[in-house]
Amino acid sequence: MDSISKWHGSMALVDFPFSPCGSDRWGHDWLIGVDHQLFWPQLELFGQALSQRQSPAVLIAEADPLRFWVAFLGAWGAGCAVVLANPGWGDREWQPINQVFQPNRANPVQAGSSSYPCAWPLGTTADKILIPTGGTSGQLKSVIHTRESLMAAVQGFRQHFGVAVVNAYCVLPLYHVSGLMQGLRVLATGGYLAVQPYSELKQGQRLPLPPPGFLSLVPTQLQWLLDQGEAFEPWLRSFQAVLLGGAPPWPRLLHRARTLGIPLAPTYGMTETASQVATLLPQEFLAGHGGSGRALPHASLRILNPQGQPLPPTAVGTVTIAATSLAEGYVVLTAEASEPYRLTSLAPTETAGPQAPGNRSELCTDDMGYLDAAGYLHLVGRRSNKLITGGENVFPEEVEAVLLATGQVQDACVVGLPCDRWGQQLCALVVISPTLPLATLPLLLQGQLAPFKQPKRWIAIAALPRTPQGKLVRPQALGLAQRVWVMG
């Protein structure tokens, strides 16, 4: 048997490599927006080339969607571990990657590709996939998932929305969990994936997608599309659900989407959980419900106090997640010669209270929130963002939401400046119209927030630092506020 036949057989044995359709999906035109006729021949050629390398793992840094899925499915079909990388990384980010995984970037699996045979120093390669996520202290960090955890998330999604087939419209990065999971839902259910750069969508180019369709956006993307008026409104309403995640949406955006009848589905999830573990269904959103919805069938949520004890409904505490989609842990790349990487657990030590129901492993998140009487999750902020002013705890997200709800503030970030009297003094960086006097904003907050939650310093700014997914980069905002205030 030649190498292609052996590899093709392995694809069937591992269920293509995860679809209930198995090898029946072979040859299916599931990709929209790329030349799908090239996909299957390229996948076979990739498998043949990879079988000659005998590599335990493949590092994928593909910007092209077709090449990404060829490499991803080819690597999994060959039984290799997968290391996802951001194609936009610079030399600083690549340095620890090169040190730990030693990708042969001068000799990719196929000529012209950005997928490389690499080392795998993390033990068994079976079904492993590393997905990059936000690190701390300048260190790169990836989450260790398995085929089982990713497919548990797919099944939970299907059950929550009550669909057998998922068709997805993807404008998010495929190396990110938000983009990757869209493709996996499609592949596992026999659906179609329309994949397109967001820049092309902004130019008015739209791809056909059969119903039921799911579109995934971050809040800044939805805001831009709605600002175009009728150019995108009917198109947004055509989806079964517009999944909204990646960053907290502001009240004015949610109100506008609800008024326009957009079937929005605010989500809560993270790389560690293989995307969403709670989602507000579109019909619930349009009926006026708030928050991030109920837990998906494969997950359960608890709210714990600092001692690890469960809290009753409406009490604010730490959000903890038990789910069959939880990752195994992290690999933290240190760039240190003596210890180039560390394997760490998901569960922090503060989860010392009663074990999660069903004895499932549990992730103690950085998020603060509460469950209402109906089991809907409501987030109020992040523990790591908490500010302490005059002995009072303030979550900046709450203040920012009130500022945005005034309709006079386009964007906002609240930080804490060092203060001898109060410990931290609240400072609001705001994006406002040049014609709006900055001094009017404190007046708008009177009666809306307790006095200790009201910013004492204000800075008007042209734009706030945000990631491509729309998340505020708070350390940069704090640094900017400190520089402005020292100069002023």
- Mean pLDDT, each 10-residue run in order, the chain (488 residues): 40 42 66 86 91 90 94 91 91 87 91 93 86 67 93 96 96 93 94 94 92 91 90 95 88 92 96 96 96 97 93 95 94 82 70 51 90 95 85 86 88 89 89 91 87 92 85 89 77
Check whether residue 378 and residue 402 sit in a common domain: no
Dihedral sign computed on CA atoms, order 247, 252, 257, 258 = positive
- Do the domain assignments include residue 311? yes
Q: Is 413 left (phi over 0), alpha (psi -120 to 50) or beta?
A: beta
Q: What are phi and psi of 442, to 5 degrees?
A: -55, -35
pLDDT at 418: 86
Check whether residue 227 and residue 353 sit in a common domain: yes
pLDDT at 360: 59
- Do the domain assignments include residue 206? yes
Check whether residue 95 and residue 215 sit in a common domain: no
pLDDT at 4: 40
- Do the domain assignments include residue 82? yes
**Domain's final residue, options 365, 383, 401:** 383
Check whether residue 117 and residue 203 sit in a common domain: no
CA distance 247 to 162: 25
Q: How far apart are the first and last CA of the chain?
A: 75
CATH number for 87:
3.40.50
Count of domains for the chain: 3
Strand 115-118 versus strand 57-60 pairing type = antiparallel
Question: Which of 225, 223, 229 has its CA nearest to residue 247?
Answer: 223
- Do the domain assignments include residue 135? no
Check whether residue 175 and residue 296 sit in a common domain: yes
- Do the domain assignments include residue 141? no
CA distance 130 to 368: 27
The structure's pTM equals 0.84
Check whether residue 106 and residue 216 sit in a common domain: no
**Domain's final residue, options 334, 350, 383:** 383
Strand 392-394 versus strand 275-279 pairing type = unpaired
Residue with tokens 């491509």: 468
pLDDT at 336: 78
CA distance 209 to 216: 14
CA distance 132 to 140: 8
Check whether residue 220 and residue 274 sit in a common domain: yes
Check whether residue 83 and residue 178 sit in a common domain: no
Whether 457 contacts 485, CB under 8 Å: yes
- Do the domain assignments include residue 131? no
Check whether residue 154 and residue 250 sit in a common domain: yes
Q: Which residue range forms the structural domain that includes residue 460? A: 386-487
Q: Which two tokens stand for residue 349?
A: 């030590």
**Domain's final residue, options 351, 383, 415:** 383
Distinct helix (H) and strand (E) counts, the chain: 14, 24
Write the DSSP symbol of residue 66: H
Q: Count of CB atoms within 10 A of residue 353's CB? A: 17
Check whether residue 412 and residue 473 sit in a common domain: yes
CATH number for 158:
3.40.50.12780
Dihedral sign computed on CA atoms, order 456, 255, 157, 73 = negative
CA distance 156 to 324: 9
Check whether residue 452 and residue 344 sit in a common domain: no
- Do the domain assignments include residue 347? yes
Q: What is the DSSP string of 20-74?
A: TTGGGGTT---EESS-HHHHHHHHHHHHHHHHTTT-SEEEE---SHHHHHHHHHH
Dihedral sign computed on CA atoms, order 479, 483, 484, 486 = positive
212 preceded by cis ω (within 30°)?
Answer: yes
CATH number for 459:
3.30.300.30
Check whether residue 323 and residue 356 sit in a common domain: yes
CA distance 197 to 459: 34
- Do the domain assignments include residue 237? yes
pLDDT at 488: 56
